[in-house]
Structure 1
């Protein structure tokens, strides 16, 4: 049986893969597992916070999750539509025992997902997720009478989260004079983003900020930047920011409509933190898929790049284990551990704008600290992804390609976590060179380990 939890919770087509029954059972199992490992206080009833993005399916899944938790004796506080990092923050701020976020992030509307947070607003590690899966469907003693959980609603918690975002900028965090276009992806940030930026004095133009339950991520947000790029130019804005459906990631656009990706955002924030002596160990954490240009740029400024497997959870693991204060992914997941336990798109955007305000530089000038090397990726489908990692001829070809590239590039072969696909990524000094090497290796992978 395939593992139920993926790289970021349990995700699938709502009411097909992710059903109300599964949501209820997962919530019961999570309550039991987290209780047994000591997250619940012994002198009071455990509490949980539950939030969601605006997807229509979130309405019935939220009810199922709340029912499961309350039936297991957990008091539940429903906080309504709020970004994923908002749930993480509120779990910690309210000293709750766990949190649940219903969202499929940047995925299309028919999908949904369940993300769990433990005490402190921390995502669960693999062992806890495996333990929850093992407890699904088990017999258990159900509480009755006054031992069942109670359910309350606190829709005002979102204001507390916005205050936290604004407070992270400190006393010198004015954004007056900056005009920004915000693309809320018709998702969970449609209220929080505008409130936070306007509170700090920015002139804000919103797009894709009218969620109806069906239009989340639809040709908008961090995966579809076209509308944002056009709006920034049309409005004469200084900056554009695009969030995904649950607002845990952020990508930026400069005044000319050019993309500022997650690697460039990391570079900008890393230099700002080092300047303020807040970049612990002068290290930024990124994944193996981050552009080599980030490593080269950081090296010039005395900053080390610690690389992890793909996934913000692995970035966070390295940060927590080593006390690092900044990490993220090219996709725009950026974690600032002084203020958040997970990626937070609105927080990231605020600190980018604040850096513009304090330096007087445009976002394009700030991003110019890093030169992105051409990066080409081919997804090789229908292959045995396990064999690809050990096949001697493939490994020999990868080593030869890396020697050929030297300091001007690199090769990464990465199996997909969910399908029979191997991703071949090549960086080089020119697009032509990267393309030639990438397709050469992709053809070899297909020939050597094809399932056909």
Structure 2
């Protein structure tokens, strides 16, 4: 983890700890870094946050000042940047978004020429340049100054690509879409309409400050009610940059990332499309998912939290599907990153080819209750060094045994410790979390602010 770049790019509150100066210097570095042997060609997209326009202009200024030509996709999902970069030969791509965070946050996510998240070594060089007091990168002059190109056609090609992946028409299916007032507003409805669905949209009118506000994949109750009230066949909810998808079945049940992995994994195994008979998950996936996989004879692997770790495992081992319970799902045959709209198309394929309602397809899975608490702490290093606290956490986990588990991990960007318990009953979950939180309090680790 770097000073500025975390597991998902450079993220912070706009003009507080992520400023236009940061964005300008990121642009200056990338334009020079990729332009050493030829004029760099770099594509940029953004979500609907008010500050996204500000950061777009700052990045463009830095890139063109270093001699790069910049292609603008405008408001578009993160996975569209990955697709355009790798399919059209760009040197790199930049997405301006803070994903599921509130509107006042923003982020700069950089993808290399293969459409995958930028290497940590290059991020370290960017950080070094940001903090440098002397500007060592020359300014382009005269005909070497870069230009800006409207490249909305790139987004249209991504839309065409998604449509091409559907295996059959969606005619007759009533589909609800919660667009989170975010990047999905430029793509999702058009895709489902083109495939013949009767499409019902909510939260599709972004105003710069309503992205993710009581909507999208982090507030599923809105779509739950909408699907049930309108007697829809299925509902899909995306996050701000549309790289996540969660679903609602026709009865109003939430289909989280774990259930999506189950449904798609079982379907892919049946159709001989599940490479190595293995699904890649993270340590946050539910024990109930693993029990269900074992019953179906499907293997699984666990990685650290973060879709970059999931994808790294998939590439290293040749696996075809992986993801997170939060809804980042990667289909390596079609994409190099999580893609919410692609995920919803794959779920539609499972439903249509199985000729079954979504609720029937996941009825064999029993998800264990989970409880997650985020603790603001004084000092994460002090928590790491507290052996007594570690022993208490270990004891709680051992007492749960095979009927549950505890997972305590650090936030990558804040002085926050996440405490999660999973067990066969809500009562046991609560008791386990309460014991660990109490230990943090007794050991004087909790922040007073």
TM-score (norm: length of structure 2): 0.94
Is residue 341 from structure 1 mapped to residue 350 from structure 2 by the alignment? no
Work out the CA distance in 1 between the residues paired with 2:444 and 2:170: 54
Consecutive unaligned residues of structure 1, counting only runs of 5 or more, are 37-41
* Cα separation, 2, equivalents of 1:18 and 1:111: 8
Matched, 1:146 2:143: yes
Task: Structure 2 unaligned segments of length 5 or more: list them.
Answer: none
CA gap of 1:237–1:281, structure 2 versus 1, over 3 A, is: same
- d(CA) in 2 for partners of 1:330, 1:187: 21
Closer/same/farther in 2, CA of residues 277 and 449 from structure 1, 3 Å limit: farther
Checking the alignment, whether the CA contact within 8 Å between 1:286 and 1:315 is kept in structure 2 is yes
Q: Secondary structure at the match of 2:183?
A: coil
**In the aligned structure 2, how far is the partner of 1:398 from the partner of 1:113?**
34
Tell whether 2:102 aligns with 1:121: no
Query: Secondary structure of the residue that 1:100 maps to in structure 2?
Result: strand
**3-state SS of paired residue (2:237):** strand
Residues 243-284 of structure 1 show CA distances to partners (whole Å, capped at 9, x for unaligned) of 111101011111122211111111111111212222221111
Where 1:214 maps in the other structure, the secondary structure is coil
CA deviations on 1:12-33 (whole Å, 9 max, x unpaired) are 2222322222111011123334
Return the offset for 1:383.
Answer: 4.4
The residue aligned with 2:310 is 315
Question: Which of residues 268, 278, 295 is equivalent to 1:283?
Answer: 278
List aligned pairs for 1:171-320, cutoff 5 A.
172-320=167-315
1:288-313 Cα offsets, whole Å, 9 max, x none, are 11111111111222222211111111
Whole-angstrom CA distance in 1 between matches of 2:289 and 2:301 = 11
Quote the Cα distance in structure 1 between the aligned partners of 2:35 and 2:312.
22
> Per-residue deviation at 1:432?
0.7
Number of the residue aligned with 1:39: none
Going from structure 1 to structure 2, the CA distance change for 1:68 and 1:257 (only over 3 Å counts) comes to same
CA distance in 2, matches of 1:232, 1:408: 34
CA change 1:424–1:321 in 2 (3 A) is same
Aligned to 1:6: 6
Hey, what does 1:52 align to over in structure 2? 46
Q: TM-score, normalised by structure 1?
A: 0.94
SS at match of 2:60: helix
CA contact 2:32–2:137 (8 Å) conserved in 1: no
Residue 127 of structure 2 is matched in structure 1 by: 133
Structure 2 partner of 1:104 = 98
On the 8 A contact 2:75/2:186 being kept in 1, the answer is no
1:45-70 CA distance string (max 9 Å, x none): 22001111122211121111111111
2:61 corresponds to which residue? 67
CA positional deviation for 1:113: 1.1
TM-superposed deviation, 1:83: 0.4
Farther-moved stretch of structure 1 (112-121 vs 206-215): 206-215
Residue 89 (structure 2) aligns with: 95
Cα distance in 2, alignment partners of residues 89 and 354 from structure 1: 21
Conserved? CA contact 1:265–1:367, under 8 Å: no
CA contact (8 A) 1:33 1:131 kept: no
CA–CA separation in structure 2 for the residues paired with 1:34 and 1:311: 27
Separation in structure 2 between the aligned mates of residue 35 and residue 407 of structure 1, nearest angstrom: 55
Distance 1:217 1:421 in 2: 22
Deviates more, 1:86-95 or 1:417-426: 417-426
Distance 1:272 1:96 in 2: 34
Equivalent of residue 356 in structure 1, options 331, 351, 368 = 351
Alignment partners' CA distance in 1, 2:417 and 2:77:
32
Tell me the distance in 2 between the aligned counterparts of 1:310 and 1:125.
17
Distance 2:242 2:402 in 1: 36
Contact 1:106 1:245 (C-alpha < 8 Å) held by counterparts: yes
Pair 1:82–1:451, CA change in 2 (3 A) = closer
| Deviation of the 1:381 alpha carbon | 2.6
Name the CA distance, whole Å, in 1 between partners of 2:214 and 2:326.
Answer: 17
Distance 2:91 2:23 in 1: 18
Once residues 114 and 32 of structure 2 are traced to their aligned partners in structure 1, the CA distance between those partners, rounded to angstroms, is 18
Q: CA deviation at 1:100?
A: 0.7
**Counterparts of 2:444 and 2:322, CA distance in 1:** 34
SS at match of 1:217: coil
